[in-house]
Amino acid sequence: RHRSSATSPPPPSPTPPTTRTHTPDIPNKEKDEELSPRRPTIQRLELPVATITNGTAEKENVVESQPELPLHQLDISKYLVFKKTEEEGPDMRGGNPDALIIHATKANKNDFLYQEAFLTTYRTFLSPLELIEKLCQRHERFSCASDPAKQRAAREAFSLLVRVVSDLTISDLEPTVLQTLMDFVYQLLCSGDLTMAKALRVKILEKHNIKRLHNSTCNLLSSQNIYTRQSSLLDFKSEHIAEQMTLLDSELFMKIEIPEVLIWAQEQNEERSPNLTRFTEHFNKMSYWARSRILEQPDAKDRERYVIKFIKIMKHLRKINNFNSYLALLSALDSAPIRRLEWQKHITEGLKEYCALIDSSSSFRAYRQALAETQPPCIPYIGLVLQDLTFVHIGNNDLLSEGIINFSKRWQQFNIVENMKRFKKGTYTYKKNERIIAFFSNFDEFLCEEAMWQISESIKPRGSKKNNQ
């Protein structure tokens, strides 16, 4: 269409918000009955023994001298791929999935960062249930051994298991996962490991209670629409509007689980990334809401006042490190239906300055530098995080060779989401202003794109150089 965008905001550009008929939360129908151990199902894996018939091994099902599984070995270095001497970057380049798990259990000063990268990215090649089962299996294999090295391996497997359970997300907490963990607790009790059993059970119950609370929580409606019709954007101070936008952004941003972001880059699955989906929809709705507030003003001077007001709000958003709302408003002011209208020179020049922050010509260098210099609390622009992760996913193979995970790819993913994790540690302390929150009305009141174009072209018909606004 005729909508040019010389200085359009960074990809992905806001899309029209969709009306959602339900929230993709975990259904209440899930089996949330009291967790109780059943008879353990995790069994010790015995290596097959070759059956001798007439002096020869049967070749159909058994291979003579079958190698031991990596999960049952102490030294797994031969299953790992390390960087060459002349190469840069982290030592670990890849390996057999079981070997990567075992290497993650050996957390020390040199491998601590690897363990963090593994825990952040393992879902890209292994499900939480698979990881839990393998760690339980390794612990069982070595826990009763007299060899100190094997006992240490069992303890290391248990320590990593506790970390894995601590990091489980709500969507990870499927009944099979919880039951597998309770079975393992029962095993620990039967073998006399009471301290370990208690420590793990506490973690499991914490997660179970979080899930129950999540499933039973109702979204309580605030007193919206009390002030909606009686107030306008110009009634509030720009600083206060920026603060309330930031509180809403922060609440949604803090709910995003890092695995959701990694999954989205691979699958674009809304059901598996519910919090991320709500956050991106909030961004899009805010952008369309801002466009609508400008275009619905019948008088040119009022439209200009609204544009100037939004620019002032953006200044405050930048000052308090809310890049998300900042770019939502910038995308609104720089959208084609609004940009094509006639504006005062100081407005157009000001917008060019704001667009420079998110200039894509140098891979968003200005924005990346600003983000690197920012201390929490901060809300980053999630669109660029998703774009970077998508590029890494598309541009790198999952495997180095058959059965060998490309962990260099996981290092890149880890480095991208580390900034997100860093900013999730900071919190904003502004007090909620119910009057402004109600005025926002969840940013649900906006014009559709077609209506925006109709208004824009009624103000300035296509082909005309200038229209009396």
* Interatomic CA distance for residues 22 and 349, integer angstroms: 43
**What is the model's pLDDT at position 466?**
52
Q: What is the CATH number of the domain that holds 90?
A: 1.20.870.10
Q: Is residue 230 part of a domain?
A: no
**What is the model's pLDDT at position 272?**
87
Q: Do residues 201 and 287 share a domain?
A: no
Q: Is residue 126 part of a domain?
A: yes
Q: Do residues 348 and 248 share a domain?
A: yes
Q: Do residues 171 and 83 share a domain?
A: yes
Phi then psi for residue 279, to 5 deg, are: -65, -45
**What is the model's pLDDT at position 439?**
96
90, 415 Cβ separation under 8 angstroms: no
Instruction: Retrieve residue 228's tokens.
Output: 């909606």
Peptide bond into 298 cis (omega under 30): no
Cα 159 to its chain centre, rounded Å, is 25
Q: Do residues 165 and 313 share a domain?
A: no
* Interatomic CA distance for residues 177 and 183, integer angstroms: 10
Q: Is residue 343 part of a domain?
A: yes
Cα 360 to its chain centre, rounded Å, is 23
Q: What is the CATH number of the domain that holds 449?
A: 1.10.840.10
Cα distances (angstroms) measured from residue 438 to each of 235, 332, 435: 13, 21, 5
Q: Is residue 14 part of a domain?
A: no
Domain boundary residue, one of 188, 218, 248: 218
Phi then psi for residue 322, to 5 deg, are: -100, 85
What's the domain count of the chain? 2
- Note down the domain range covering 321: 238-378+426-459
Instruction: Retrieve residue 400's tokens.
Output: 């180095």
422, 376 Cβ separation under 8 angstroms: yes
3-state secondary structure of 33: coil
Element (H, E) at 82: strand 80-82
**What is the model's pLDDT at position 4?**
44
Q: Is residue 307 part of a domain?
A: yes
**What is the model's pLDDT at position 360?**
81
Q: Do residues 331 and 441 share a domain?
A: yes
Instruction: Retrieve residue 253's tokens.
Output: 């941003």
**What is the model's pLDDT at position 268?**
87
Residue numbers in the chain where pLDDT is lower than 70: 1-67, 109-110, 217-230, 465-469
Q: Do residues 161 and 293 share a domain?
A: no
Phi then psi for residue 257, to 5 deg, are: -90, 135
* Interatomic CA distance for residues 244 and 316, integer angstroms: 11
Q: Do residues 203 and 110 share a domain?
A: yes
> Computed over its alpha carbons, how large is the radius of gyration of the chain?
28
Q: Do residues 345 and 431 share a domain?
A: yes
With tokens 């991208």, the residue in question is 416
* Interatomic CA distance for residues 378 and 325, integer angstroms: 11
Q: Is residue 356 part of a domain?
A: yes
Q: Do residues 295 and 157 share a domain?
A: no
280, 324 Cβ separation under 8 angstroms: no
How many Cα atoms are found within 13 Å in the side-chain-facing hemisphere of 385? 28
446, 288 Cβ separation under 8 angstroms: yes
387, 360 Cβ separation under 8 angstroms: no
3-state secondary structure of 229: coil
Domain boundary residue, one of 185, 218, 251: 218
430-460 exposure pattern, b = at least 16 Cβ within 10 A, e = fewer: eeeeebbbbbbeebeebbebeebbebbbebb
Q: Is residue 390 part of a domain?
A: no
Q: Do residues 204 and 247 share a domain?
A: no
Residues 238-282 pLDDT 10s: 999 999 999 999 999 999 999 999 999 988 888 889 999 999 999
Q: Do residues 292 and 160 share a domain?
A: no
196, 158 Cβ separation under 8 angstroms: yes
Q: Is residue 25 part of a domain?
A: no
What's the DSSP call for residue 404?
E
Q: Do residues 280 and 169 share a domain?
A: no
Contacts of 436 (CB under 8 A, 6+ apart): 236, 240, 241, 244
**What is the model's pLDDT at position 296?**
96
